[in-house]
Amino acid sequence: MKIWLCLVVLSTLAFSASENLEEIKMKKRFGIGFSAAGPLSVLGIEADINLTENISVSGGIGTGLDYSTLMLKAKYFLLGEQVSPYFAAGVARWWTDGTKEKSIGPSVLSNKFLESGDYSKGFNVWMVYPAIGVQFLHPLGFSVYAEAQYLFKLFNFSSGTYAGLGVYWYF
């Protein structure tokens, strides 16, 4: 209990003695972290770069357990105090050279983007997506975000919604 109380006090002191969000984003431009769900499917590792106070670019690699994932995106922030909503646009690729698995998740992939239930010969799905999200950025550099995407499969434009969560450490 004492540890939690100390963390709350330290966090409050950091907020009260900190710079504004614009200064934090320019001081701590580079972030690394991980995500669950979203354009990297089940789990991924991401890097983020704050180009300006309002604009950042992210990239990452991940896994859908039975396949690999890759993504790039740009985000535009509407800056708040510590919490900022944002709009994003990105491109993602989910692929495998073949798997024996019969049931592949998430359901947006198996139900909307893939035609057959036989994945032994592999698949390659390229997607573009708009997204909306919200990011909390602590003055010490810790960040948490939640994001919802509307994924469009390239070349046939089948679509579906998906969402994800992630954390970054900015330095």
Closest to 65 (Cα-Cα) out of 16, 3, 28, 110: 110
For the chain, the domains span 21-170
DSSP secondary structure of 48-109: EEESSSSEEEEEEEEE-SSSEEEEEEEEEE---SSEEEEEEEEEEEEEES----S--SSHII
Q: Quick one: fold of 21-170?
A: Porin (2.40.160)
Q: How far apart are CA 161 and CA 130, in angstroms?
A: 10
The pLDDT tens digits of the residues spanning 80-101 come to 888 999 999 999 999 999 888 8
Given a cut of 60, is residue 16 above it in pLDDT?
no
What pLDDT score was predicted for residue 103? Answer: 80
Given a cut of 90, is residue 132 above it in pLDDT?
yes
What pLDDT score was predicted for residue 162? Answer: 96
The pLDDT tens digits of the residues spanning 136-163 come to 999 999 999 999 999 999 988 899 999 9
Percentage of the chain exceeding pLDDT 90: 70
Find tokens 């995106």 and name the residue.
73
Q: What value does the mean pLDDT take over residues 30-51?
A: 97
- DSSP reduced 3-state for 143: strand
Given a cut of 90, is residue 72 above it in pLDDT?
yes
Residue 64 exposed, middle or buried by CB count within 10 Å (0-12, 13-18, 19+): buried
Q: What is the CA radius of gyration of the chain?
A: 18
